[in-house]
Amino acid sequence: MADDDRLRADRLREAELLVRAGRGEARAAGALVDRQGPRLMAFALRMTGGDRALSEDIVQESFLRLWRKAGDWDVDGPAQLSTWLGRVVANLAVDARRRAARQAPLDAAGDVADAAPSALAGLIGAERRTALDAALARLPERQRQAVVLRHVEGYSNPDIAAMLGCGVEAVESLTARGKRRLAELLGDTGDA
């Protein structure tokens, strides 16, 4: 029961910060961004294939939407602040990917790799992350979201279900299929 009391206290504290942020209190807004921002940014980076500028825009837009909703937030409602924000980030990332797919790339050169790695271990780690990111990008959108939220960001299945607007069983299925496909894709590259 102590965990339930702690979760309720956290929800109340975040709701209080949200109301104050909605009134324009910069400190309250900053506190919410500090609490939720890093996890949302990590999720957005995974969903955008590492595009930092796009991820920052997505996270910023998610907070702007939250500020607009501040006066109507129901602390006892079905969604926690973190799951609501996660769903907004997921939707914005999907929208951004769809827009990008419709537009022709302006610069086909891509990013320039860092020529001065600090250590061999760093290179190996970067290669594995690159392989994982490439494999994640090949997953269907919903599978990618479920796998990233569960196994990279550490959200619970019920939280993911709330973010994706589906049932827990669907999350379990998406995650299992996504993991199997990732194993196949990474096995093809020898990084499994």
| CA atoms of 55 and 46, how far apart (whole Å) | 9
AA letter at 143 = Q
| CA atoms of 29 and 66, how far apart (whole Å) | 10
- Judge whether residue 153 has pLDDT over 70: yes
Q: What is the pLDDT of residues 126-142, one digit of tens each?
A: 677 788 888 888 889 88
Q: What is the pLDDT of residues 64-120, one digit of tens each?
A: 898 888 878 777 777 788 888 988 998 898 888 888 777 755 454 455 555 444 555
Q: Confidence band (pLDDT; 50, 70, 90) for 38?
A: very high
Above pLDDT 70, what percent of the chain? 84
Is there a contact between 180 and 173 (Cβ–Cβ < 8 Å)? no
| CA atoms of 20 and 14, how far apart (whole Å) | 10
Flag whether the pTM goes above 0.75.
Answer: no
Mean pLDDT of the chain: 81
Q: What is the pLDDT of residues 169-182, one digit of tens each?
A: 998 999 999 999 98
Is there a contact between 43 and 149 (Cβ–Cβ < 8 Å)? yes
Is there a contact between 46 and 77 (Cβ–Cβ < 8 Å)? no
Is there a contact between 100 and 69 (Cβ–Cβ < 8 Å)? no
128: CB partners within 8 A, 6+ apart:
191
| CA atoms of 73 and 81, how far apart (whole Å) | 9
- Judge whether residue 190 has pLDDT over 60: no
- Judge whether residue 50 has pLDDT over 70: yes
